[in-house]
C-alpha cells in the first residue's frame, strides 16, 4: 500500500494545476469534518486519515487525478469545505482526499430562467452575493452558508434556510444539471440533465465527481427578522404552525425551547426566559405575523431587515447552528433530526416528561412533499450510545421519521432505504468503487 501511495504521489507531482499537501497536520485537518457533534461517530472516525491531500485548480487536473486513482485503485474522497456532520468527507480507508475549493467560477446566470451555473467549490455565500446583483437569491441554504460549498451542499446536505417554502434539496426542481467527472479507466466529463443528476444528489460523492452545477433560484426578498416570545410551549408550537400555513412568505420559521433561548449569544432580540420563535418574513407579511402573535398574547419584536454582511442575523441561530451554540456552552450536547408526527405536541410532551432537561426542543418549519410540517433537531444531553438508541426507537414508536446523524452511510442518515439509481450510477461512473468507499450501503451490499 505504501509503495502504491509513493508511486501515485510521484506521478501527481507532475500534474499541472494541482496543489499537494503531505504534512501530517494537513492530512489530519483535511480528514475531518464536524462529526464530533456525535460521540458515536467520534469513536468510529477519529483515526481515519488520508495518505495524500490534493487541491486541483482546474477540471483538467481533476480528470488526471481521477485517472491516476483508478490506475492505482486508490480510494478518492471529495471534500468541499468539510462542514458536514456525519463524516461524509472523511476517508474511511485512507487514500486521496481531493479538496474542491479551487473550482470557484460562477460560469453563467441565465436572466430568463433565473438559473445559475457554478463550479462545485463555490461558496454558497458567494453564489448568493452574485444572485443578489441580478435580483435573485438561493432558494435553500444550510446555516453554514458562509463557509460551505455548493458541491458539498448538494452531495452531503439536505435543506435548511428556505425549506419552509422550498422543501428539500432532493425535491425535483432545485438541481437542473450537473457536470461530472467519472473515475473509469478513461475518465469522462459528462453533462447530466436534471433527470440523470438525481442519482448524484445527496450521494456523498460516492458516484461521481461534481465539477459544476446548474440550480434554480428565487426572486430576491429583503427578509425581515421577527422574534415572537411565548410563555407556553403549546402556544409557541401552535403559533409556529399558524405562521407556517398563513398566506405569507417565510424563509425561516424556528422555535427554540426557553432553556435554549437563555443560552443564546446576545444581540438576537431582547433577553427572555420564554420560548422563542425566529422568523424571516417578506416585508408584506410582517403585519400579519404581528397580528397573529398579539392575538395569541405573545410578545412581538421586529428586528428589521437582515444584514447579510454582518453575519449576526437570526439565520445564524437556526438549523444546526442552534446545536453549535449549545455545544459551545456544554460539549455534552448532541442532537437528533426528525420529522415530527402530527399532532406534534403529543409526542413532544411524552418525551419531555421522560427525558426532562436532557432533551430540549428545537423545531424548524419545513415543506415536506408539498405539505407544511414541523421538523425537529432536538438537543440531547449525551448519556451514552444505549440511551441515544433508546431515544431513537422511542421517537420512531411515537411516529417520528428519524434522519439519524450518528451514522456514516447515505442510507442510514436518510430513510434507511437503498436507492438503486444511486447504486447504478456508481456502477456506471465509478466501476472500481474508489469514490468515498464505505459510505453507500447499497454498493457495499452489492460488492460484498
Residues that bind ligand FAD (CB under 6 A): 33-34, 77-85, 88-89, 100, 120, 142-144, 148-149, 151-153, 155-160, 204-205, 209-210, 319-321, 324, 436
- In degrees, rounded to 5, the angle at the alpha carbon of residue 133 between the alpha carbons of residues 127 and 134 is 95
Q: How far is the CB of 159 from ligand FAD (least distance, A)?
A: 6
C-beta of 229 vs 430, nearer to ligand FAD: 430
Q: What is the dihedral of CA 200, 87, 416, 357, to 10 degrees?
A: -140
C-beta of 209 vs 314, nearer to ligand FAD: 209
Q: State which residue has the least CB distance to ligand FAD.
A: 152
Provide the 3-class DSSP secondary structure of residue 268. coil
Provide the 3-class DSSP secondary structure of residue 208. coil
Q: How far is the CB of 100 from ligand FAD (least distance, A)?
A: 4
Q: Are 336 and 381 within 8 A, CB to CB? A: no
Q: How far is the CB of 150 from ligand FAD (least distance, A)?
A: 8
C-beta of 229 vs 316, nearer to ligand FAD: 316
C-beta of 243 vs 319, nearer to ligand FAD: 319
Q: Are 359 and 377 within 8 A, CB to CB? A: no
Q: Which distant-in-sequence residues (6+ apart) come within 8 Å of 364 by Cβ?
A: 163, 164, 253, 254, 255, 318, 319, 374, 375, 376, 377
Provide the 3-class DSSP secondary structure of residue 223. coil
Closest alpha carbon to 142 in 120, 123, 116, 118: 123
Q: How far is the CB of 121 from ligand FAD (least distance, A)?
A: 7
C-beta of 149 vs 182, nearer to ligand FAD: 149
C-beta of 149 vs 224, nearer to ligand FAD: 149
For the chain, the maximum distance between any two Cα atoms, rounded to a whole number of angstroms, is 72
Q: How far is the CB of 154 from ligand FAD (least distance, A)?
A: 8
Q: How far is the CB of 156 from ligand FAD (least distance, A)?
A: 3
C-beta of 180 vs 351, nearer to ligand FAD: 180
Helix/strand/coil (H/E/C) assignment for every residue in 292-345: HHHHCCCEEEEEEECCCCCCCCHHHHCCHHHHHHHHHHCCCEEECCEECCCCHH
Provide the 3-class DSSP secondary structure of residue 100. helix
Q: How far is the CB of 397 from ligand FAD (least distance, A)?
A: 26
- Asked if the peptide bond before residue 343 counts as cis, ω within 30 degrees of 0, the response is yes
Amino acid at each position: 500500500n505504501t509503495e502504491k501511495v509513493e508511486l501515485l504521489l510521484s506521478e501527481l507531482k507532475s500534474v499541472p494545476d494541482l496543489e499537494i499537501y503531505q504534512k501530517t497536520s494537513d492530512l489530519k485537518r483535511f480528514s475531518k469534518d464536524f462529526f464530533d457533534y456525535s460521540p458515536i461517530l467520534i469513536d468510529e472516525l477519529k483515526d481515519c486519515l488520508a495518505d495524500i491531500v490534493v487541491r486541483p485548480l482546474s477540471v483538467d487536473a481533476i480528470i488526471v487525478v481521477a485517472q491516476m486513482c483508478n490506475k492505482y485503485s486508490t480510494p478518492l474522497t471529495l471534500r468541499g469545505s468539510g462542514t458536514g456532520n456525519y463524516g461524509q468527507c472523511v476517508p474511511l480507508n485512507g487514500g486521496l482526499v481531493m479538496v474542491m475549493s479551487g473550482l470557484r467560477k460562477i460560469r453563467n446566470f441565465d436572466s430568463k430562467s433565473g438559473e445559475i451555473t457554478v463550479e462545485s467549490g463555490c461558496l454558497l455565500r458567494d453564489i448568493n452575493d452574485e444572485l443578489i446583483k441580478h435580483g435573485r437569491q438561493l432558494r435553500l441554504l444550510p446555516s453554514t452558508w458562509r463557509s460551505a460549498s455548493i458541491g458539498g451542499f448538494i452531495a452531503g446536505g439536505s435543506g435548511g434556510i428556505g425549506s419552509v417554502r422550498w422543501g428539500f434539496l432532493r425535491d425535483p426542481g432545485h438541481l437542473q444539471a450537473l457536470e461530472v467527472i467519472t473515475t473509469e479507466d478513461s475518465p469522462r466529463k459528462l453533462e447530466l440533465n436534471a433527470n440523470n443528476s438525481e442519482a448524484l444528489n445527496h450521494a456523498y460523492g460516492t458516484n461521481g465527481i461534481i465539477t459544476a452545477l446548474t440550480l434554480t433560484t428565487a426572486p430576491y426578498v429583503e427578509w425581515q427578522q421577527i422574534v415572537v416570545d411565548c410563555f407556553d410551549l403549546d402556544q409557541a408550537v401552535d403559533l409556529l404552525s399558524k405562521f407556517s400555513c398563513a398566506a405569507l412568505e417565510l424563509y425561516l420559521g424556528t422555535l427554540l425551547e426557553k432553556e435554549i433561548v437563555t443560552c443564546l449569544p446576545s444581540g438576537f432580540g431582547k433577553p427572555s426566559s420564554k420560548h422563542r420563535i425566529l422568523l424571516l418574513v417578506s416585508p408584506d407579511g410582517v403585519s400579519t405575523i404581528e397580528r397573529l402573535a398579539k392575538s395569541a398574547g405573545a410578545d412581538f419584536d421586529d428586528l428589521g431587515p437582515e444584514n447579510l454582511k454582518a453575519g449576526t442575523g437570526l439565520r445564524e441561530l437556526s438549523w444546526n447552528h442552534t446545536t453549535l451554540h449549545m455545544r459551545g456552552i456544554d460539549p455534552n450536547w448532541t442532537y437528533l433530526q426528525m420529522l415530527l408526527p402530527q399532532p406534534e405536541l403529543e409526542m413532544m410532551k411524552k418525551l419531555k416528561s421522560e427525558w426532562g432537561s436532557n432533551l430540549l426542543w428545537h423545531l424548524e418549519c419545513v415543506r415536506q412533499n408539498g405539505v407544511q410540517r414541523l421538523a425537529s433537531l432536538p438537543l440531547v444531553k449525551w448519556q451514552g450510545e444505549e440511551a441515544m438508541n433508546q431515544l431513537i426507537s422511542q421517537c420512531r414508536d411515537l411516529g417520528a421519521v428519524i434522519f439519524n446523524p450518528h451514522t456514516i452511510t447515505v442510507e442510514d442518515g436518510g430513510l434507511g432505504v437503498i436507492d438503486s439509481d444511486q447504486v447504478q450510477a456508481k456502477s456506471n461512473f465509478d466501476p472500481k468503487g474508489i469514490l468515498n468507499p464505505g459510505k453507500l450501503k447499497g454498493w457495499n451490499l452489492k460488492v460484498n
